[in-house]
Structure 1
Amino acid sequence: MKKNLNQKSIDCFIESLWKISLALVFYTLLVILWGAWVRISHSGDGCGDTWPLCQGQLIPDSELKKTWVEYSHRFTSGLYGILVLALFFWIKKQTFNSLFQIKRWSFWVLIFMITEALLGAKLVLFKLVNLNDSLWRVIVMSLHQLNSFLLVGFTVRLLCAALEYKWFPELSVMSANKKTQRLQNNRYLLMILILAMTGAWAALSTTLFPSVSLLEGFAKDFATDSHSILKIRITHPILAVSFGIYMIYYFANKYSEWKDSVGDSQGLIKYQNLEQIVGRLAKAMAFSVFLAVLIGIITLLSLSPTSLKLIHLTLAHVLWMLSVSYYHFSSLKKRLNIE
């Protein structure tokens, strides 16, 4: 009887956790996109050089649009921090067995939430906003972008861990007792993180040095007297196409392998749903990479209009979420030695 009650409590906790984690993933993306709008709209100095207060006030007394754009970002970010902190302590107090993964990922979400806030504060306090074109801003922006992706990644890992326990409770317990094995091929994760950082250079360059034509933009890239960020931004489209071709080929192959194995009598029934998830994630990855590269090319050719910048950034994060999810469930297969 006690065992049944305990299992019911675990099920209730997991059911709540995956829903909260899913909501947190979407809210994280919303905060990041609003932060991008702060940069695009040159509103980074809307609250002055005070942080976390806005113009030295809890609620600013200003009619300037950029003040409210920046303040809205700080408010939603502050609320995000409170939610992450509350989630961390709620998970931490749970005494159920086999929650190691869930507790680990919630810890890393908390850590990267803190570093995200500190990097954002650094941009404001050191006035690395608006039209500041210093090398220091490029470095901090790159780290901020990288941190944002890692924050999203660990939030997705938390969601996947909750879904793993919900969908495959027995497999989750089995895998928790096995030493984690490194996947033979996880280059795609590193590739996306590299693209995220070079994407920050490209985005910042178009904000600081907009071009009136494509030819003018290319000329700036190779001019000897151009700003350094204009000279390095070309790395993003080159790497995006190169990495994109590799990832499309890789995930199309993985999807093809799964399709060929469907109905294999040698596969255990209890593993088939897991293999189905991995196969469909591979298909989604191949399509998302193609779409992200296509939108990126259109954004470049159309001189980076605001709407396409935000769509491109959204697609980049969706691609990252899918890749982390694929990695998580592929890792589960590896830990269980499922071929």
Structure 2
Amino acid sequence: MSRFAKFAWLVLGYNVLVILWGAYVRATGSGAGCGSHWPLCNGEIIPRSPTVETLIEYSHRLTSGLAALLVLAMLIWAFRAFPRKHIVRFGALMSMVFMVLEALVGAGLVLFEQVADNVTMARAVWMAAHLLNTFILLGWITLTAWWASGGSRFALRGQGSAGWGVFGALFLMTLIGMSGAVTALGDTLLHLGAIEKNPLVGETLLALRIYHPTLAIGIAVYMILVLTNLALARPSPTILRLALGFNGLYLAQLGLGALNVWLKAPVWMQLVHLLITDILWIMLVVLSASLLANQPQARAIVQEPKASITP
């Protein structure tokens, strides 16, 4: 594995840690620790006499800024190390694009005060959109690292039913992630005692929590059936291991989700649940790329020469 590939995987791992810390900011109600100021914190570059909430939010901004710098470094390195039109360049560029969007979404959450104990449907939409962009960002960083590690370039056209199966898996995983983000918001507002601030919206968010596990169980059936069939149709040692590992971890995640509900969603359990979700997403992206790159070769049709009868 090249030095660039190792660095790209490192960038991916660091971004997962930043995402977990961001979830801790949300779960502890610390999102307003810097007020409605961005990029400043309470109007200051370095906050003086900060509260605990300010320290949590400010540290998240610092770690997020470092994540952006790492992705920028990956982009510059990719353009220096790989030739023009190389797929790694494209992956690094798209990673940077969605890193910028991630920063803008984070800024919007603060500037529009969609943080802390805000109880509105607008915040639920923001949370779902934030998760969507985060998944896309992680996806592009994963592809960049995978391509740099020797993964093959793949075409989206001409994949047939396999392409639709992969697209369905990615779409459903994104959907369950977004529903999980809204569910986690309901748990956070309940723990903060903020539901009463807007009972109509608050009770609606709590009622929506039943749909997340129901959706997760239904999607499990799709993942096991479709991904297993695709892995058997386009087999390779890597694909088979990824498919088996993904389905096994997904089933374990269902158990963790049930445990999370039983424990009434403590902060540490929310973080564990999110970590497994991110790992599942990364595994699914690599599995999808491997499946699409492992197109079966068209079988040549050899016609037997017809026997001639000589009179």
TM-score by length of 1: 0.79
CA deviation profile, 1:130-169 (whole Å, cap 9, x unmatched): 100111111111100111111111111111111125xxxx
Residues 127-166 of structure 1 mapped to structure 2, 5 A cutoff: 127-164=113-150
Paired residue type of 1:328: A
1:15 is the counterpart of 2:23: no
Q: CA deviation at 1:254?
A: 5.0
Partners of 2:203 and 2:116 in 1: CA distance: 16
Paired residue type of 1:47: C
Residues 265-284 of structure 1 mapped to structure 2, 5 A cutoff: 275-284=236-245
Partners of 2:157 and 2:24 in 1: CA distance: 39
Ranges in structure 2 where 5+ consecutive residues have no aligned partner: 194-198, 300-311
Partners of 1:336 and 1:89 in 2: CA distance: 36
Paired residue type of 1:201: V
Paired residue type of 2:174: L
Partners of 1:43 and 1:114 in 2: CA distance: 23
Partners of 1:305 and 1:87 in 2: CA distance: 36
Partners of 1:225 and 1:125 in 2: CA distance: 21
- The corresponding residue for 2:190 is 209
Residues 317-336 of structure 1 mapped to structure 2, 5 A cutoff: 317-334=278-295
Q: CA deviation at 1:92?
A: 2.0
- The corresponding residue for 1:227 is 203
1:75 aligns with one of 43, 62, 66: 62
Aligned-residue sequence identity (percent) comes to 32
Q: How many residue pairs are counted as aligned between the two chains? A: 292
Q: Is 224-233 or 183-192 further displaced after alignment? A: 224-233
Partners of 2:157 and 2:88 in 1: CA distance: 15
RMSD: 2.7
Partners of 2:97 and 2:74 in 1: CA distance: 13
CA deviation profile, 1:245-284 (whole Å, cap 9, x unmatched): 22133344456x38xx9xxxxxxxxxxxx81111111111
Partners of 1:288 and 1:337 in 2: CA distance: 34
Paired residue type of 2:104: L
Q: CA deviation at 1:58?
A: 1.8
- The corresponding residue for 2:100 is 114
Maintained 8 Å contact 2:82/2:88:
no
Partners of 2:297 and 2:228 in 1: CA distance: 24
Partners of 1:285 and 1:115 in 2: CA distance: 28
- The corresponding residue for 1:236 is 212
Maintained 8 Å contact 2:33/2:58:
yes
Partners of 1:28 and 1:248 in 2: CA distance: 28
1:43 aligns with one of 25, 30, 40: 30
TM-score by length of 2: 0.86
Distance 1:30 1:224, change over 3 A: closer
- The corresponding residue for 2:305 is none
Residues 240-259 of structure 1 mapped to structure 2, 5 A cutoff: 240-254=216-230, 257=232
Partners of 1:311 and 1:239 in 2: CA distance: 20
Paired residue type of 1:20: F
Q: Is 121-130 or 242-251 further displaced after alignment? A: 242-251
Q: Secondary structure at the match of 1:129?
A: coil
